[in-house]
Structure 1
Amino acid sequence: MGHAGETTLEEWVVKIALVGCGAVTQAVYVPLLSRRRDVFEVTAVCDLSQTLADTVADRLGAPGRHTDLGHLLAAGGFEAVLILASGSHGEPVRQALAAGYAVLCEKPLALTRAEVAALPEGRLMVGYMKQYDPAVRRAEELLAELGGPEKIRSIEVTVLHPSGESQLAFANLTQARDVDPGLLASLREAESGLVAQALGASAPERVRALYGVALGSICHDLSLLRRLSGSPAEVSHVETWGPAPGSIEISGPLRAGGRFEIRWHYLEDYPAYRETVVVHHDRGSLELTFPSPYLMNAPTTLTVVSRDDTGAESRNEWRDVTEAFEVQLDAFHAFVTEGVPPRTDAAGALEDIVTAQRIAARYAVQHDLQIGGEAA
């Protein structure tokens, strides 16, 4: 930070490192960070693939290129780290915090409660970009004006999820083909061990698969429930059907009253990603319709349903093309430079992990399947 009279906090360019150079980094973070050089300078990147590290570093003008997280953190030259790799982020976040860096970690924070408990004190923000969507923020404001979570009768979520390949076909992604297969196998084995810690070593594959979807995709909806009404008091029903990963239905009571229901469908050849979150309250509804998360500046639509002065139904639509991922990056900048609290910290991310474990446990109990570990 500059001396008084030279640089304001808003003008403070934060030097950052990126960990993970895969699909989300290439399709979302590279274009955003390329146009937001007013607040961030990428000085180093890290990926298991040297090809991906070089590709992303070239596009962002980053001199540091690493294939080992320990080497990246030791080399330094930055103030904050963005953890964007796939899988559990518990261990890389632990290392980055222990090294003294501020961290923005993509969801999920971890696969187990134990990983969260092992994190040292530090500055950690967990990335759920939909919480920063302007339409979501507007819905929160309207709900507060109506009287808050106690006024909610139900929250109904529907997700239509095409293949990731079809959603990202436009992005012309660079593929990684230079990572040692033995290293990849050891990482998969370690991740399987974490899932066993969460669900028990005897949990069958369909319970493990359900847990993977809950933490990999449905966690976005759990984070919205947490913002709108608080994390669910319990999970009372879970069902799955269709070819894996298939369709998933989850329901239960909300903490302040009312109920929630989530229906998530993996549809390989569905034309486009679609997600709706509808909040029904005593005087109307708030309906959020989300586009594909990889389409920059595609607006989420908020439809407000109420009665007008004559008693007739009124439907008003609200849109803002401000990109949610970009708002999230601005929030991280404010977190690093001014200490503005994030919308999700370690405690909030832990709530989502606990809810995902409750989902897996309820499904196992309903179908007389083995469940153990933290979920038991």
Structure 2
Amino acid sequence: MKIALVGCGAVTQAVYVPLLSRRRDLFEVTAVCDLSPTLTDAVGDRLGAAGRYSSVAEMISAGGFEALLVLASGSHGETVRRALAAGYAVLCEKPLALTRAEVAALPEGRLMVGYMKQYDPAVRRAEEVLAALGGPEVIRAVEVTVLHPSGESQLAFANLEQARDVDAGLLGSLRDAESALVSRALGESAPEAVRNLYGVSLGSICHDLSLLRRFTGAPADISYVETWGDAPGSIEISGALPVRGRFSIRWHYLEDYPAYRETVAIHHDRGSLELVFPSPYLMNAPTTLTVVSGAESRTEWREVTEAFEVQLAAFHAFVNEGKPPLTDVGGGLEDIVTAQRIAARYAVQHGLPIGGEAA
């Protein structure tokens, strides 16, 4: 399947380039697009892509591919809208967009939203175990802890090409556009603390929201949100699950922490399921599933199959065989709504202004 890439930054270079290089049985990259010519050429050279663009509109108009992988940072709403309107299938990295309005403007089409942890074999195994136990009805609580070191430290091994040739004025205008979208989501008067919380919710915590959707469904209620420390700092979120029980998420940005660590524990009346995820940038690093049951019986299961690679194969099957993705436009919208509820709850608790869609 011939594909084009939008965005040639960190996740593209560290994850997608090596995976697409070894999955040439599924994909041929014919075009790449980035604001930085340096990054466009670096990724284009590694993948043998002849088409190289700095404009998404120009690349979509030129064609020569069947699908787009939207891997750039920030909101993806307008890029996805253009691609779907032109008839292309799209794999869009999270988040799908920053506002509900962007999602509402999307035309019909083949869209898969990328949450690679949903495709992790350890997660799929946990889903099977939970289903055998009785599904969401047996869950007492879901507890998530994320220890998040700096992105620079997580990517130090990757020797990434850096973008130093993007016009400063263009970058400024893009930041203004992103800020306007956040204002549409949260209101013009939303303070920086609320905006930062929303950014982390859609940029990182959304992975845990996507797992909640798989295990239990999207949260029924956000009842408590607190932050502390210098931004992005630490964030605590809790609320009710849609069927039974409650969830809590504790997310900590720890600049110099030795390594990324994410733990998702599902507690039920007869035991627990615990998933421990490594840094997402380490290819084929194992995710560990520990099943606790009976009289302190513990079973550990490790799988080194790369979740991003499984996700790519699922996208290929979605486009060519019509196999539905685990997250479509509806799931992407659910996470935006939940992130807005998180921001609104925090604002209400602290007497801060909130408007826009989140109101």
**If the length of structure 1 is used for normalisation, what is the TM-score?**
0.95
Taking the aligned partners of 2:74 and 2:178, their CA distance within structure 1 comes to 7
Equivalent residue number for residue 226 of structure 1: 213
Output aligned runs, 1:235-246, within 5 Å. 235-246=222-233
Where does the alignment leave 5 or more consecutive residues of structure 2 unmatched? Answer: none
* CA apart distance, 1:109: 0.1
Equivalent residue number for residue 288 of structure 1: 275
**In the alignment, structure 1 residue 85 sits paired with structure 2 residue 68:** no
Equivalent residue number for residue 315 of structure 1: 298
Q: Aligned residue pairs: how many?
A: 359
| 2:319 aligned residue (333, 336, 340) | 336
Equivalent residue number for residue 39 of structure 2: 52
* CA apart distance, 1:320: 1.1
Taking the aligned partners of 1:191 and 1:245, their CA distance within structure 2 comes to 18
Taking the aligned partners of 1:370 and 1:273, their CA distance within structure 2 comes to 34
**For residue 60 of structure 1, what is the amino acid of its counterpart?**
L
* CA apart distance, 1:243: 1.4
Equivalent residue number for residue 99 of structure 2: 112
| 2:243 aligned residue (256, 259, 264) | 256
Q: Residue 362 of structure 1 aligns to a residue in which SS?
A: helix
**For residue 96 of structure 1, what is the amino acid of its counterpart?**
A
Equivalent residue number for residue 50 of structure 2: 63
Equivalent residue number for residue 354 of structure 2: 371
**For residue 260 of structure 2, what is the amino acid of its counterpart?**
Y
* CA apart distance, 1:244: 1.1
Equivalent residue number for residue 160 of structure 2: 173
Equivalent residue number for residue 335 of structure 2: 352
Taking the aligned partners of 2:229 and 2:72, their CA distance within structure 1 comes to 29
Q: Residue 132 of structure 2 aligns to a residue in which SS?
A: helix
Equivalent residue number for residue 247 of structure 1: 234
Equivalent residue number for residue 305 of structure 1: 292
**For residue 370 of structure 1, what is the amino acid of its counterpart?**
P
**In the alignment, structure 1 residue 279 sits paired with structure 2 residue 266:** yes
| 2:120 aligned residue (112, 124, 133) | 133
Equivalent residue number for residue 4 of structure 1: none
Q: Percent identity?
A: 82
Q: Residue 250 of structure 1 aligns to a residue in which SS?
A: strand
| 1:103 aligned residue (83, 90, 113) | 90
Residues 272-319 of structure 1, C-alpha deviations (whole Å, 9 max, x = no match): 000000000011000000000000000100000001xxxx21011001
Equivalent residue number for residue 362 of structure 1: 345
Equivalent residue number for residue 6 of structure 1: none
Taking the aligned partners of 1:331 and 1:264, their CA distance within structure 2 comes to 29
**For residue 60 of structure 2, what is the amino acid of its counterpart?**
L
Equivalent residue number for residue 149 of structure 1: 136
Where does the alignment leave 5 or more consecutive residues of structure 1 unmatched? Answer: 1-13
Residues 60-118 of structure 1, C-alpha deviations (whole Å, 9 max, x = no match): 00100000001100111100000000000000000010111000000000000000000
Taking the aligned partners of 1:220 and 1:19, their CA distance within structure 2 comes to 21
Residues 118-140 of structure 1, C-alpha deviations (whole Å, 9 max, x = no match): 00000000000000000000000
**If the length of structure 2 is used for normalisation, what is the TM-score?**
1.00
Taking the aligned partners of 2:157 and 2:80, their CA distance within structure 1 comes to 31
**For residue 117 of structure 1, what is the amino acid of its counterpart?**
A
Computed over aligned residues only, the root mean square deviation of the Cα atoms, in angstroms, reads: 0.4
Taking the aligned partners of 2:221 and 2:135, their CA distance within structure 1 comes to 20
**For residue 98 of structure 2, what is the amino acid of its counterpart?**
L
Equivalent residue number for residue 193 of structure 1: 180
* CA apart distance, 1:143: 0.4
Larger radius of gyration: 1
